[in-house]
Amino acid sequence: MKSDVYGFGVVLLEMLKGMRALDQNRPSGQQNLVEWIKPYLSDKTKLKTDIMDEKIEGQYSSNAALKAAQLTLKCLETDPKQRPSMQQVLHTLETIQAIKLRRRKRTKHCSNKFATINNFH
């Protein structure tokens, strides 16, 4: 079961970075995505500038992106006993989704408010 969690962590990393886990066409030291990116997952500034795929960067708040990176890091723990259960993974993913939905509602609310103000003038 814990190897499935590791595999899921690899998939999460592929989604975050927008790259395949293994790619012989990348420069030396970057061919294995896990070995290359894992050391940077806990660095909030690197997350925004070097890790997040541009295609998804604006879709998640910094908080949600950081939680996703932290989850990925936990899933990729070398010691299987240190990896979360799939139930814990699911719970964290639901938390990240809730952050995204709250952000979307807030943005929509602010847009509606702005539109109302503009219509008033």
3-state secondary structure string across 8-63: HHHHHHHHHHCCCCECCCCCCCCCEHHHHHHHHCCCHHHHHHHHCCHHHHCCCCHH
- Predicted TM-score (pTM) above 0.75: yes
Give tens-digit pLDDT for 79-109. 999 999 999 999 999 998 998 787 666 655 5
3-state secondary structure of 77: coil
Q: Which residues contact 28 (CB under 8 A, 6 or more apart)?
A: none
Average pLDDT along the chain: 85
How many domains is the chain partitioned into structurally?
1
Give the domain extent around 107: 2-120
pLDDT for position 75: 97
Residues in the chain: 121
Q: H helices then E strands: how many in the chain?
A: 6, 0
Give tens-digit pLDDT for 32-77. 999 999 999 988 888 877 888 888 767 777 888 889 999 999 999 9
- Of residues 23 and 66, the one with the higher pLDDT is 23
Is a pLDDT exceeding 50 seen at residue 114? no
pLDDT for position 46: 83
pLDDT for position 81: 94
CATH of the domain at 78: 1.10.510.10
Is a pLDDT exceeding 90 seen at residue 24? yes
Is a pLDDT exceeding 70 seen at residue 21? yes
